[in-house]
Amino acid sequence: MNLSQIRTMIGSIIDYDPNITSYKSEINRVVNEHYLEFLMLRNWSFNQTEVDVYTVPDLTVTGLSTTSTTGGTKNIAITGATRRMRGCIVQISGAGDERDNGEFIIDDVDGTEVYLSKVEKTQTTPFLWPGWHSANNSTITAKIMQRYLPLPQDCIFPIAINIRNPIEYGETGYRTMYQLTRRKDEELNLKLDLEGTPTDWVTYDQYPERVLDVADIPAFADDLQISEFGTAGNNWPAGDYEFKYCYNFRGIDGPLSEAVPFTVTLGNANLRFDTRDTTLTNQKGVHKRLFVRIKNVTVSGRTYAEEIFREVASFYTGLTTTSSTGEKFLEIADDDTSFDWPNANINPNMETLRTLSRLQDNEGRCWRIRLYPRPGGNRDDNGDKGLPIRVRYVQQVAALTQDFDTPRMPSDTHRYLVYRACEDLFMKFNNLSQSKYYQQKADKELRRIEAKHLTTPAGPFIKGAYKGGPQYNKPYVVLTSLN
């Protein structure tokens, strides 16, 4: 059943189905609440996915120089650093002042300039960066290492981590890795950066060090203002749009702001996005990403209207001048306060807009794993790709918003959503007996689903002939599996 059919069945049960927008929105909210909760209840096999996540090879650069600054800078030039290294650990040594040596985390990479934050262990200054206290002429060594491997942001939680890519790593690279709890990891006192072939992995739902994370940076609706700009070619189709945005820090998307309504009234118009400068507190790397909803747009006599938001950052042109961060997708740089739509590079026609990736808001959540031993390596071992780590995880799904949206679950489980929604709605209508009745039906349906989809029965066994002899105390039956 799709969302419309689920809503119709609910209406037939509660015998109340008014054709008003607010009521439909309330039904959709209740259905989605139980839909998303159901998919996180268990490790359902129908909501698991596998993907290779590539580690970042180590990078060690010697002979670096710094200059002494009164205010304390947060950047150092490291040749070979890339934006893939955001969130990696940097170990600085060789500075004349010991306050400049130590362990830091990469906030952003702009060309060869690497912006750092101190991994601080104190209570009073958790995000303190001491700055460069002394001038150093070609004496500093910087080692960049990926201690925590970020998983895809649609990962609700990881299930299995292995190395299973014979094409890119070779069959000798096959490894089975086992999960360690953080408590066991601490009891064994395993070295954080022991290098070798990984045999174990530890999960983190956030950085264990007390450092700023993207979820700590709220995005407010009034931090984004949109205005019409210009009449050049490759314009947005005239009509109504709705925008959201989020901050992106160390390559991780944060929680979304509330939608910013905006109406395009000109036939030939582009957009100008005015945002706040996130570097004013000397915090580098907090970029901005945009999401758009086609609200009411008419093109060639056909009206388009969607309930879903699409990720503008999924525009990819192959051009390095598309965004203000130098990336090949639309992302507004941290210090940019005004950014014009790049109409020379991207044509936002209706066909292109409707092929953008659908938003999956995960509220800034991003799982990370620490591999033990850490696959340090270098750029010569396996190119610049790093080690392919096969991750199997429970996947975050998009909410059901359009009438034709279908739950990512087998069709024989859809009735569970109907019964669970009826339980809530009857409670809302103060019909406690019917609410209790559909609670029992939903519980029974859940038990049936668990019995069917949480067990993998073994293949049938065929009884073979009896065997006997001196070595057998009694007749022995051979069972042969058909699998």
pLDDT tens track for 47-98: 899 999 988 888 999 998 887 664 556 788 888 888 889 999 999 898 887 7
The first and second tokens of residue 125, run together, are 């200054």
- CATH entry, 59-145, from 2.40.30, 1.10.3470, 1.20.140, 3.40.50: 2.40.30
Question: Between the CA of residue 297 and those of 277, 292, 301, what are the distances in Å?
Answer: 32, 13, 10
Nearest to 179 by CA among 194, 149, 201, 197: 201
Q: Give the pTM.
A: 0.81
Question: Between the CA of residue 125 and those of 95, 121, 132, 169, 207, what are the distances in Å?
Answer: 22, 8, 17, 43, 17
Is the peptide bond preceding residue 470 cis, with omega within 30 degrees of 0? no
CA 265, CA 376: separation in Å to the nearest integer? 55
pLDDT at 413 exceeding the cut of 90 = yes
Torsion angle of the four alpha carbons 467, 469, 472, 475, in this order, in degrees rounded to the nearest 10: 40
Strand, helix or coil for residue 147: coil
pLDDT for 303: 93
Span 237-259, average pLDDT? 88
pLDDT for 126: 40
The first and second tokens of residue 186, run together, are 């601490």
pLDDT at 440 exceeding the cut of 50 = yes
The CATH 2.40.30 domain(s) of the chain lie at: 59-145
The residue with tokens 């709220």 is: 218
Strand, helix or coil for residue 378: coil
pLDDT at 35 exceeding the cut of 90 = yes
CA 83, CA 78: separation in Å to the nearest integer? 12
CA 91, CA 60: separation in Å to the nearest integer? 9
Assign 438 a pLDDT band (cuts: 50, 70, 90): very high
Of all residues in the chain, the percent with pLDDT exceeding 70 is 80
Q: How far apart are the first and last CA of the chain?
A: 34
Give residue-wise pLDDT tens across range 368-412.
999 999 887 654 444 567 788 899 999 888 889 888 999 999 999
Nearest to 339 by CA among 275, 280, 290: 275
Span 127-155, average pLDDT? 80
CA 345, CA 319: separation in Å to the nearest integer? 8
pLDDT for 128: 44
Sheet holding 102-110, edge to edge: 59-66, 136-145, 89-93, 102-110, 113-118, 75-77
Helix (H) / strand (E) containing 4: helix 3-14
Sequence-ordered alpha helix ranges (H) in 303-370:
350-353
Give residue-wise pLDDT tens across range 305-350.
998 899 887 765 554 445 555 555 578 888 888 888 766 666 788 8
Mean pLDDT over all residues of the chain? 82
CB-CB contact of 409 with 46 (8 Å): yes
Contacts of 80 by beta carbon, 8 Å cutoff, 6+ apart = 59, 61, 112, 379
CA 291, CA 382: separation in Å to the nearest integer? 36
DSSP annotation of 197: S
CB-CB contact of 195 with 387 (8 Å): no
DSSP 75-86: EEE-TT--GGGT
The first and second tokens of residue 151, run together, are 């998983």
Span 294-303, average pLDDT? 90
Span 452-461, average pLDDT? 65
pLDDT for 265: 74
The residue with tokens 């340090």 is: 376
Nearest to 370 by CA among 158, 165, 150: 150
CB-CB contact of 367 with 205 (8 Å): yes
DSSP 318-334: S-TTSSTTS-SS--B-T
